[in-house]
Structure 1
Amino acid sequence: MRMTERSSDLAGAAGSNGDTSAAASRLAQVWAAVINGTSYVSMSQDEVVDYLGGLSTRIFEILTGDPFNARPAWDIGVDLVDSHFTSSATLERSIALLGDEVRQTMPELSVERLSAVQGAIAGGYGYALRQRTLHEQEAIREAVLDAREQAEAALRASEARFRALFTEAAIGIGLADVEGKMLDANLALQQMLGYSLEDFRAYHLHEFLHAGDPESTHEAYRQLTRGDREFFRAEKQFFRSDGDSVWTNLTVSLVRGPGGEPQYQLAMMEDVTDRHQLQDRLRYQALHDPLTGLANRALFLDRLARVFNRPEPDRRVGLCFIDLDGFKVINDSLGHHIGDELLVAVAKRLTSTVAPNDRLVARLGGDEFVLLAERSTGTEQLIEMGDQVLDVLTEPIRIGGHQLSVSASVGIVERPVIAGGSGDLVRDADVTLYWAKAEGKSRWALFDPDRNAREVARFRLSATMPAALEREEFYVDYQPLVALADGRVIAVEALVRWQHPEHGLLAPDRFIGLAEETGLIVQLGRWVLEHTCKQARRWSDEFGDDAPFVSVNLAARQSRDPALVSDVEAILRKTGLRAGQLQLELTESAVMGTAEDQTSALRKLYDMGIRIAIDDFGTGYSNLAYLRRLPVHELKIAGSFVEGLRVAGKPDPVDEQIVGALVTLAHALGLTVTAEGVETAAQAERLRDIGCEAGQGWYFARPGPPAAINRLLAAQRRR
C-alpha cells in the first residue's frame, strides 16, 4: 500500500464520524505494516495490530488532552521496548509514521504538540533500550567478576562462558590492560569502529579519548585506571577508521587481580547513532519554523536568554520586531497557500540582510518576524537593519501569477545588556512595533523610554479607574452660566474631577480620553449625571424658581449607548428632578456624526423636555442642513472665537464677524447661544451687544464646589 493511500484512509477513519477509536484502529494497522520485520517479537501479525491499537488509542488521547501533557508518551516508548520492539528501524519508522499519518488525520494539530509527543516516545524508547542494554552489560560484568572469584576447578568453564558471551554479544566489547594497551576486541566492536583485531592491538585505550569529550569522562577514566572507581558510564562519540562518527553508550569496568590490584579494563559499547541522529532531527524541528526553516520563537527566546544570562562588559543587544502590513488581506483574498508562499519569500529576503554570525532571523508566528543582533554596535546599526528590512521588501514578489507588494512595520530596541532583562527587551520591541503601525505603517519606530513611561502611566491610570469609582475618588465641580442681559445665574455646568490618591487632583483632560478608550465613560457619565441631578434637586428645593438648570456633558460613546434614554429616565425618577432642569451637552462632531438610531435617542430626550446643547460649536465640520433637523435648544460657542474680543474698543474683526455669524445662525434656527471662555468685562459687553444670551468663563466664576454656587444663588436672591 502506498503512503498516500494510507494517509487518505486514515484521515477518513477519523473524519467520517469523529470517532478517534476508528482512527486509532486504522493507525495500528498502518503502524504494524510499516514496522513488520524490523524487530523480532513473539506475536502474530494480528496480535501486533491489537497491541499497537492500544498504543494508538493512548497516543490520540495524549494529542487531544486538555491540558496537554506529553509525559505519558514516554511510557509508550518504554512499552514498545518491553514488548521486544528493540531495533532502531522500528523507532525511526514509528516516529516518521506518526509525523505523516497523525498530521493527515488531525491537520489542525499544532506542530509543537506533535513534536513533543514524538520526542517523548523517542525518549522513553531510548531510556528503556538503554536500561535493557545496561542490564546486559551488568550481566557481562558480573560474569567477569564471577569468573575471577570461581575456584580453579571452574575456571576453564567460566572462561568458556565468557568467551562465548564476548564473541557473540551484539554490543561491542574491548579488553585492555591497566596501561590501556588493547588486548582483544570482539567482532561487534570491530564492525562498529571499522578496525581489525590487529589494528586494535596497535592502539591504547586513551587514544580513543579526544578533546571533544567532556572533562568528566577524562577524569572518570583516570580514576578507574588508578583503581579509585570500579566502572563509569558515558555517552561518547567515536570516530570510525573511515572518518565517520559513531555515538555510543559506553561502560568501562575495572577487572582486578587476585590481590585486588587493577589488572584489566573492559569496555562495552552500544551503538546509539540512529537514536542520536533522530534526537537531533527532533531537536531541530522543535526549534525551527516548519514553513520557512527560520528559527522559531523557542530558539529566539533561548538565544536571547543566553545573551542576558552571560552579560559581558560593554555588550549591547538589539531587536527589530517586524510585522507585515496588509498580510491578512492577501491571505484572506488569495488563499492561505499564497500567503504561505509569500511568508517563505519574505523569510528569504530577511535572511539576506543577516550576514554576521551574531545575528538571528526568526519567525515568531503568523506574519511576525524578528531580527536579533546579539552583539549590537549601537542604535545606528539597528536603524540600518530596519532600513534594510524596508528596502528588501520594496521590490514586488511574484507568486502564482500574482504580483504582490508587501511592506512592513518595524519596532526597534537597542540597549546595553545590563539594562533590564530579555523579557523587558521583547516587551519594549513589541510596544515600539505598535507605535510604527499606529504612525502609518511601512516605517520603523525607535523605542523611546519617555514615551513608553507616559503610556505605561496612562495604562495604569485607566486600570485604576473602575476601583476609583467604587472608592468615590471622583467628584463634581460646577461653573455658572450667566445671563448677559442682567447677570443672573441661569445654569451651571457639571465638570467632573478625580482626586487621585497618588497623583493628586486630575483634570478631565487626564482621564476622559482614557475612559472613552476603555468604555468606562458610560459608567462614569452615568455616575456624573446622577450625582449632578441629585445636586440640582437640592438647589431646586432650596431656591425654587431661582434655581439654575444643570448642564452635563455627554461623551460621544455615551450618546451611542443604547441605554441612554432609559438611564436618563431612571435618574430623573430617582432624584425627582424635572426634565426641564437638565441640559445635556454634546460636542459638534458627536452630534454631526450621529446615526439615525442615535438621532432618535436625542429626539426622545428632547421630547421629554430635556434641553440639548451643542458644545464647542464652530470648531468642527457642520452640515447646516443636518443641524436644522436636529433636536437642539442651544449652541455653545467655543472660547477660541471669543479670544479676539478681550480688549475693550479693539475687537479682532475676524473673531467678531465669526461670533456674529454664529449668533445669527443660531437665532435663525430658533436656538439660544452661550459663549464660553469669557474672561474680561469687554468680552461680556461685546457678546451681549452681538446678541449672545449667556456667557461662561472665569470673568463670572471659576469652577467650584456646590457651596460656591449656593453663595452666588443666595446673593442673587437678596438682590
Structure 2
Amino acid sequence: MAVIDREGNVLDANPALGALLGADPAQLAARGAAALAELREDARAWNDYREVLLGHRERMTCTRRLHHSDGHALWAEITVEQAPDSCSLLLSMADISDRRDLQGRLRHLQMHDPVTRLPNRNLFFERLAAALEAGAYDRAGTGRIGLCYLDLDGFKAINDTLGHRVGDRLLRAVAQRLTECAAPGDHLVARLGGDEFALLVRESSGTEQVCELARSVLAALQRPFDVGGQRLSVSASIGVVERPAAGTHTTWLMQAADTTLYWAKEDGKARWTLFDPERNAHRMTRQALSSTLRPAVEREEFVLDYQPLVGLVDGVVRGVEALVRWDHPQFGRLSPNRFVSLAEENGAIVPLGRWVLRTACRQARAWQQAHPRHPLVVSVNVAVRQVWDSDLVADVGTILAETGLPPRLLQLELTESAVMGSAGRPLQALQQLSDMGVAIAIDDFGTGYSNLAYLSRLPVSTLKLDGSFVQGFRAEEHPNPADETIVRALVELAHRLGLTVVAECVESAEQAERLGRIGCDTGQGWFYSRPVPPDRIPPMLPACPVS
C-alpha cells in the first residue's frame, strides 16, 4: 500500500509494495502513482483514477499487467480510494498472478476436448464468430471464410466392437492427421463432439483452397491407422462451404455445412461435397418455415413433449421440462432446433411462447389435480424476445389465473447469455416473476458469459449445467478429472448461493451416481427418459408422496 496526495504523488509506501515492484519503498516516495501502476496505458483506468484524484468518486479498481524491476511481469489488482482524513488517498496493489494463471488453465480445460486436446465446440464457435466479424470489417484481408465439416464413416462400429479406449486412440490419431493437413495460424482444427470435426479456414483465398484442403484431409484419413497394434481403416464424409464473411451468420454457415455433410453421406460417403445453393433450394428452406410459423400457431400444429427432471439421490421425478415440437403438415414432426431460432428472428416466438406456456401450465394443473400428493414443477423455456416484445409478467399472471396452477409449480428457463446480460426491462421482469413465486432457471450454464459474481444479484433459483460438462463423466475407463473438478466447484458455489443444480444430458447410471455424489440435485437426460407425451409422465411418479 501507499499514501498519495491529490496530485497523485506517493507520500509513503510500505515494504510490501516495494517488494511487489522490486524497489526500495523509500525510493517510491514522490513518484507518480500512475507511473507505478501503469495507469496511463489504459484510457478507462486513467479516467477513473483522475476522477478519484479530483474527488468526483470515492474509489476505483482495475487490473493491470505490471513489470517487476527484475524484468518479469505480474498481474495486480489496483485500488485507489479516499483516505479517512480526506486530504490524501490510499493506493493498494494485490498480486493476482496465480489467480489469473488458474483462470487461464480452467478456461483452457473448458474450451478444449479432453480426448484429442483440440479446441472443442465452445471454442470453435467463439473463434468462428470472431473470424466472421474480422472478415466482414477487415478490408486488408480477403473477406472470405471457408469451412470443412466432417465426421468419420464407420467409427461407431469400431467404437462398439473394440471399445472406447481404442475409439479414443483412433480419435487422437485422426486429430493428429487433421492438424498436419492444416496450415498453422490460418486454419483452426476442432472436435465438435463424437466423431465430428471441423476445419475453419480464415481469410480463405477462394473455393479452390477449401476444396484442396478437403481433398488432402480425405486422402490423409484414408491411409490405415495403427492403433495399439491394430490396423484400422476409416474414411470421412466432408461438407465444404466457402463464402464472403460479410452477411454470413454462424448459424447459417453451420446449417449449410451440416446440409452439405449430409449430401456427402447420402451420395455414398468417403467423399467431400461443396455446398450447392440450387440443391439446397429443393430441401426445406428457412424461409418456407419462417413464413408459416405464425399461421401454424393459430392452427395449433404444435405439441408438447415432457422430459422428467429426476432427483439424483432418490431417483424421484421432481418435475418436467416442456419441449415444443412442430407437426408440420408437409415436413413431419420438427424438433425445436429446426424452427425456434426462426421464430425468434421473425417475432413468432411471442405467440408460440405464449401457447407453450399456457399449454404446459394447463397440463401441470391437470397432473396436480390427478396426483395431489406428488406435485410436479413444469419448466418452460423463455426467449429474451418474449420479454422485450410482450409483457411476459402479465402473460404469466393471466395464464396462472386461467389454469389455476400455483406459481411455485412453474419454472421459467432462460439461456445463460440471456440472463447474464439482463438489464433494465428483462431484469425487472425476472424480479417481478420471482416475487410472484415463479422459479427462474439458467439453462445451458457454462456455455456463455459464466459471470459467477453476477449470480448473487439475479432472482435465480436453479442452474442447469450444460451437457458438455456431463460428457466428461461418461467414459468409465477414461473419466475426465477436470470436468469433475469444474462441476464440483460450480455445484458448491451454487449451493452457497442457495441455488439448486440440474445436470443435463445424463446418459448412464455411472454419470448419475457420480453427479449425485458431488452434490448435483437433479438430473435430466436419456438415462431417465427421452421427451415423452404427457400421458407417459404419471406412470413415472412414485406411489407414495415424497417429502
- TM-score when scaled to structure 1? 0.38
Determine which structure has greater relative contact order: mean sequence separation of CA pairs < 8 Å that are 6+ residues apart, divided by chain length.
Answer: 2
- Pick the structure with more helix per residue: 1
Structure with the bigger percentage of strand: 2
